[in-house]
A and B are shown apart, each in its own frame.
Chain A
Amino acid sequence: MSTTELTREDLATVSPAWWAAGLLTVVLLAVTFAVEPGLFIDQAIGGLVYGMVLVLVTLGLSLILGLMGIVNFAHGAFFMLGAYISYSVVVTLGLPFWAALILAPLIVGVVGVVLEITVLRYLYDSDPIVSLLATFGLTMMIEEVIRAYWGTAPLEISRPSVLTRGTDLGVTTVPTYRLFLVGVAVITIAAVYLLISRTDFGLTIRAGVQDGEMTEFVGVNLPIRFTAMFFLGAALAGFAGVLYSAETGMRTTMGETFVILAFVVVVVGGIGSLFGSVVSGILIGVSAYLTPVVLSALAEVTNQPWLALQIRNLVPYLVMILILLYRPRGLFGEEGFLE
C-alpha cells in the first residue's frame, strides 16, 4: 500500500478552476466562521471525530482491498457480525464490554478465515468483479444468519459508565466515548501501518501481491499469509462493529449502510492507500458536519433562505463526485491499481 502519491507535480497541474474552487471554499468557511463561530467550531470538531470513526470502520476494507486486491463487499457483514456477537458476549454471557472488544473481533476473524479458505482463495487470480460478487453473496448469507439467530429487533449493550458522559475541550464538549474511539482509531491505524510497512510479514504480503510466483519461489508460504491478512481485515471490521454499535445499538441494516460509506471513503482516498483512507475519512466527516452550516450561513448572508439545504447525508457522495472528477484514482490512489 502506498503512503502519499500526491506530488508537487500534481499540484502544479491543478487547473485555475480548481484553484478558484479551493479559494471559494476557504472564503465560504471564513464567512461561516464569522456568522456562526460557535456552531462552526462545534461542527468542525464533531466532524473530525466522526471522520476518525469512519476511518476505523473503513480500515479493514482498505487493508484487504489495498493489499490483496479483493473487493470485499462482506466487510459490512463482518462489521455487523462483530456488533451482534458483542451483544451475545455482554448480554447473554454477562461478560464486560472490554471482553466483547477482544472476543468479538477474534470470532469474526475466524469466520473470515473460513470464508477465505473455502471461497476467496480460489478467486485471487480472477477479475475484481468476481470477488465482489462472491463477497456480495457471502454478505447475504451472513445477514440472514444474523436475522435468524439474533432476530430483527434493534439490540443494544451498555457502555462502561466512564465513557458515557462528555469531555469538555474548552471550546466545546465532545462525548467521551467518541474521544475514546478516536484514540483507538489512531492506535489501530499506527499498528496496521507498522505491520504492513515495517515487518517481514507486511513485506512478503506486498511482494506476494505484486509477484506471487516469485515470492513463493523464495520460500514464502503465501496462502497462509493471505489467510492471516484476511483474518486481520475481518477482525478489524468486527472490532469497528463492536465499538460503533456500543454507541448506536445493533440493527440488521447497519452493515449495508456502512459498507457503502466505507467504499466511498476508500475510493475518495484512493484504492491501495492507507494514508488516503485516513485523509478521506476525515475529509468526509468534516464535510458532512460543516456543509449544512456553510449553506445556512450563506443563506443568511445573501438573504436567500432556500440555500439552507439539509444535505448532510448527500455530502459523502458529493465529495466523492468532486474528487473523482479531478482525480479519478482518488486522492492518493496508485496509478493502475484496479483500473
Chain B
Amino acid sequence: MSGNNTWDTVDRRTVLRAAGAAGIGGLAGCLGGGGDEGGANDLTVGVATSLSGPFSVFGQAALDGAMLAVEDLEEELGVSITVEDGDTQLDPQTGVSQLQRMVTEADADFTMGAVSSSAAQAMASWANENEVIYMPTGAHGDGLTGEACGPYSFRPTASNSMLAASIGSEMAESADSWYLLYSDYAWGQTAQSAVSRILEEQGKEVVGRSATPFPADDYSPYLNEADNSDADGIGMLIAGLDLRKASNQLVSQGMQGDYTLAMHQLEDAVFWGLDRESAGILDSAGQVWGPAVDTDASVDFCERVAESSNTDPYVRHFLGYLSMDQAVRAAVRADSTNADDMRGALEGHEVSSMAADIKGGDSGMYWREGDHQLIQPTYTVEAMDVETMSEDPYKRWFQTVNTFDGDDVARPVSETGCSM
C-alpha cells in the first residue's frame, strides 16, 4: 500500500521481512503497530485457509465469499484490493507459515482465514505477537476469544458457547439426558464443554461422552457407545464433513428414530451429501447463518453465490464475505492499515454494512471490546419438509426456528478468560 510510514512501523515491517527472509518469526513484537498509516486505497489482504484436506470445501467457500466482498467494497469504497491466498491444510504450523509469508513476502496489510480452531489459534498467536490484524474467519473454538485472545485478532463468527447457548434450551426441553460425541481437537473440546455446561445449568444430565478422532472413517464404535448409554438424546459435535459420515452411519445403524439428535453448529453443506430424508435427522441445530435466513439481502447474496461459487451458498461463504467486509472497512475508517489504528476502528464498532443486512436478525452486530468477539444474532434451524426443500437456484433445505440476540447467548467478557 502507498503512503507515508512512521518510524516504528517502517522498522517493524522491515524487521518482519528480514525475519521472514531469515526464516524466523516472532521477532517484531514491541516495535509498534503493524501495517501502514498512510491511507487505505490500495490494500493487500492475506487469506490463509484450508484449501486442501478435510476442510477444503469450507476454506474454498470462505474464499469465494471474500471475493464477492472484494467486488462490493471496490465498487462502494473506491479502493483497490489484492487478495493473496494460501493453503493452511489442517496444520497450525502451516497456517503460521502462510501468514508469515503473506506479511513478509506478499506485503499483506492484514490477514484472515482458517477453519480449524487449532490452526486459527496458532495463527492468532503469531498475528498478536507480530502486531498484524487477523480475523479467524471460520474458527468457532472459545479459546480464540478466551484464554488465547489478543489485541489484534478479531473473531467474526459466533463462538462455540454462543451456539451452544442458542440450542441449549431446545436441547433441554427435548431430552433429559444426553450423550455427546465430539471431535477430539480444540473446536470439539470447547463445544463439548460449552454444551455440557449449558445442559447442566438447565438441570439436565450428560450421561457420557466420546471423543472421536478427526478426521475419522468409522464412527460405529462411538455410536454403539451412545446407543448403550440410556441417554434420551445424542449431541453430534462432529466437525466438517465428518458429521455427514457419522450421520450416514447413524442412519445405517437404525438409530435415527430412537433419539433426539442435536448439533450446535449446522452447516448446510454437510447435509447436501445425504438424501433429503436423512438430512432431517437433526431435531435441533444451531447456526451462525444459512440460506434459511430469508431477508432480501440474504436472498440476493445467496443468488450471487450460486452464480459464482462451485458450491451452493452456506455459512462459509457468508463468513468469508463478513471477514473481508469488516477488515477492509476498518482500514478505510482508520484511513490506515496500522494494526493499532485498525484495532481502534474495530473495537466497539457497530456493523451497519451489507454484511449486517445479509446476516439478518434484529439485534444488530458489534465488535465487543473486551474479547474481540463479533456479537451477533444466532439461529436455531430445522429441516424443512422433504416436499418443500428447494434446489433451484440454490439448495435450501433448512428453515429458521428461533433467532437469538447476540448479547443473550454470548458469555460475559469476565467469564471468557480473556485479558488484553
Bound-state CA distance A251–B217 (Å) is 10
> Residue-by-residue, is B39-72 near A (CB-CB < 8 Å gives 1, otherwise 0)?
0000000000001111011001000000000000
The reply to whether the CB of B224 lies closer than 8 angstroms to some CB of chain A is: yes
- Asked whether, in the complex, the Cβ of B245 is within 8 Å of the Cβ of A249, the reply is yes
Bound-state CA distance A312–B219 (Å) is 12
> Residue-by-residue, is B259-277 near A (CB-CB < 8 Å gives 1, otherwise 0)?
0000000000000010100
The reply to whether the CB of B399 lies closer than 8 angstroms to some CB of chain A is: no
Measured CB to CB, the closest approach of chain A to B240, in angstroms, equals 9
Chain A residues with CB below 8 A from B225, complex form: 39, 292-293
- Asked whether, in the complex, the Cβ of A36 is within 8 Å of the Cβ of B228, the reply is yes
> Residue-by-residue, is B235-248 near A (CB-CB < 8 Å gives 1, otherwise 0)?
00000010001001
- Asked whether, in the complex, the Cβ of B249 is within 8 Å of the Cβ of A175, the reply is yes
The reply to whether the CB of A22 lies closer than 8 angstroms to some CB of chain B is: no
Interface size grouping (class) on chain A: 35 or more
Measured CB to CB, the closest approach of chain B to A95, in angstroms, equals 19
- Asked whether, in the complex, the Cβ of B252 is within 8 Å of the Cβ of A176, the reply is yes
A153-B56, A310-B211 as given contacts; A173 in contact with B253, CB under 8 Å: yes
> Residue-by-residue, is B192-225 near A (CB-CB < 8 Å gives 1, otherwise 0)?
0000000000000000001101010110110011
- Asked whether, in the complex, the Cβ of A248 is within 8 Å of the Cβ of B245, the reply is yes
Bound-state CA distance A312–B241 (Å) is 22
- Asked whether, in the complex, the Cβ of B60 is within 8 Å of the Cβ of A153, the reply is yes
- Asked whether, in the complex, the Cβ of A46 is within 8 Å of the Cβ of B221, the reply is yes
The reply to whether the CB of A156 lies closer than 8 angstroms to some CB of chain B is: yes
Q: Output the residue of A153, A168, A248, A253 with the most chain B CB within 10 A.
A: A153
- Asked whether, in the complex, the Cβ of B218 is within 8 Å of the Cβ of A152, the reply is no
Cβ contact of B253, chosen from A36, A39, A152, A175, cutoff 8 A = A175
Chain A residues with CB below 8 A from B211, complex form: 310
The reply to whether the CB of A50 lies closer than 8 angstroms to some CB of chain B is: yes
- Asked whether, in the complex, the Cβ of A166 is within 8 Å of the Cβ of B252, the reply is yes
A46-B221, A152-B52, A154-B241 as given contacts; A251 in contact with B57, CB under 8 Å: no
Measured CB to CB, the closest approach of chain B to A92, in angstroms, equals 15
The reply to whether the CB of A289 lies closer than 8 angstroms to some CB of chain B is: yes
Give residues of chain A (144-200) contacting chain B, Cβ–Cβ below 8 Å: 151-154, 156, 161, 164-166, 168, 172-178
Measured CB to CB, the closest approach of chain A to B239, in angstroms, equals 13
> Which single residue of chain A is at the shortest CB-CB distance from B220?
A46
The reply to whether the CB of B393 lies closer than 8 angstroms to some CB of chain A is: no
- Asked whether, in the complex, the Cβ of A313 is within 8 Å of the Cβ of B213, the reply is yes
- Asked whether, in the complex, the Cβ of A312 is within 8 Å of the Cβ of B251, the reply is no
Chain A residues with CB below 8 A from B218, complex form: 50, 248
Bound-state CA distance A253–B56 (Å) is 14
Cβ contact of B220, chosen from A38, A50, A156, A168, cutoff 8 A = A50
- Asked whether, in the complex, the Cβ of B254 is within 8 Å of the Cβ of A173, the reply is yes
Beyond the given pairs A153-B52, A166-B252, A247-B248, 9 more chain A to chain B contacts, judged by CB atoms under 8 angstroms and listed by A's residue number, are A36-B228, A43-B221, A46-B221, A50-B220, A152-B56, A153-B56, A173-B253, A178-B220, A252-B52
- Chain A residues engaging chain B, CB cutoff 8 angstroms: 36, 38-39, 42-43, 46-47, 50, 151-154, 156, 161, 164-166, 168, 172-178, 244, 247-249, 251-254, 288-289, 292-293, 310, 312-313
- Chain B residues engaging chain A, CB cutoff 8 angstroms: 51-54, 56-57, 60, 210-211, 213, 215, 217-218, 220-221, 224-225, 227-228, 241, 245, 248-249, 251-255, 273, 275
- State the 3 A-B residue pairs at the shortest beta-carbon distance, nearest first: A152-B52, A175-B252, A166-B254
9 A/B residue pairs, CB under 8 Å, sorted by A: A50-B218, A164-B248, A247-B217, A248-B217, A253-B53, A289-B220, A310-B210, A310-B211, A313-B213
